[in-house]
Amino acid sequence: MKPTFLLLFLLIGPILAPAQQPDRTEQLLQRLADAPGPPGFEEPVRALMAAELKPFVTVPIRYDGMGSLVAQQGATGPRIMIDAHMDELGGMIRRVTPNGFLTMQMLGGWLDQALVDQRWIIIGSKGPVHAVTGIRDIHVVPAEERTRVFSRDQMYLDVGAKDAQAVAALGISAGDPVVPDSPFLNLNGTGNYLAKAWDDRIGLAVLCEAMRRTASLPHANQLFYVATTQEEVGLRGARTAAQAVKPDIGIAIEGGIAGDTFGGHPEETQAKQGAGPGLFLYDSSTIANRKMVAFVRKTAADKSLPLQTDVVQGYGDDSAELQTAAGGAPTVNLVVPIRYTHAHNGIVNRKDFDQTVDLVVAMLLQLDAKTVEELRDFTPKP
């Protein structure tokens, strides 16, 4: 082979080589992450979850008045609620300006610096419409303003329209949902997956895989796999779903916060990506039940699974609603560590995900009536 052709082959060979085909679990993660579903507009995600869980239920799937999905497996024994939320950070169209730009009401906890110069998808009446958040050109921004954060109040969506009539022709109107435009990617074949919405599509995927496995394993429980709505705007779906399920035990599955990246303070979070599932001992909405914490730790140790514990401020999750349902339920929040949550591009690690599924399944198989009674017993010991 001549040197010129050898060099060309070395440059483009990896591009031409066939990519490794994603397995079933990776395909599931991609479908869930790519589906649009900001708070109040979870329909596409709900349809995906119904299709995934339907083969493994023992009674028909049902939905509460907030749109949360309840998939039940088993008809006797303790009532165990395994929860993850369907909604992602997003927005909705507030108004259309006469010159064809759009303003957006943000839904969920966005940082202003995560919003500018990003691509978005508006779900209009005629289908998806691509948009970009504008940003002032550096050539006209005064030097003293160039390092300042661009405020969301100054931000607009540009769909390429010349006026409000052109926007209407695209099928866009006030109230339409908006989601990040950030397709799923296996990041350079590393087993680290880059996508939007890992908070909390990674939790939904844990539900799907756990329910698939418990369907063929003996357990002594009524398992309620619940996909909730509107978590990002106040845990609203979890409140009504927990009222309906009335769990004896609650297990929330969430996206955690990986603290192994640049910047930040070591006390912000202790979790590391690739080091296994996490257990929140405290967040702004929940203090984990101490007996449940001990149960999780023992289960992980018995199964030789890694377990990270974390204490995080400025974080709320569905476990806050599960623990107050039906007179109170011992509850924990298990997490898959995520890099860059609440932004267009987050990263999860496949091994962390797989081990979280292993841990959840192991817990469910051990939660018999006697164990549940002990976890719920707060009688002072003599």
- Indicate which residues carry an active-site annotation: 231
Query: Residue 250's beta-bridge partner residues?
Result: 81, 331
Give the tokens for residue 122. 């508006």
Q: Do the Cβ atoms of 127 and 90 come closer than 8 Å? A: no
26 CB-side CA count, 13 A? 17
Give the tokens for residue 105. 């009401």
What does the buried/exposed string (b/e) look like for 189-206 if buried means 16 or more CB atoms within 10 Å of the residue's CB? eebbbbbbbbbbbbbbbb
Give the tokens for residue 240. 């009504």
* Ranges assigned E (strand) in the chain: 62-63, 69-73, 79-85, 90-96, 101-107, 119-124, 127-133, 157-158, 177-180, 185-186, 192-195, 222-228, 249-257, 278-282, 308-311, 331-339, 346-349
Q: Do the Cβ atoms of 308 and 276 come closer than 8 Å? A: yes
Q: What is the DSSP letter of 20?
A: P
d(CA 257, CA 339): 6
Query: Residue 130's beta-bridge partner residues?
Result: 121
- Is the previous residue joined to 200 through a cis bond, with omega within 30 degrees of 0? yes
Quick one: which H or E segment has residue 28?
helix 24-34
- DSSP, collapsed to helix, strand or coil, labels residue 103 as strand
Give the tokens for residue 339. 């890099």
d(CA 49, CA 69): 8
d(CA 10, CA 265): 42
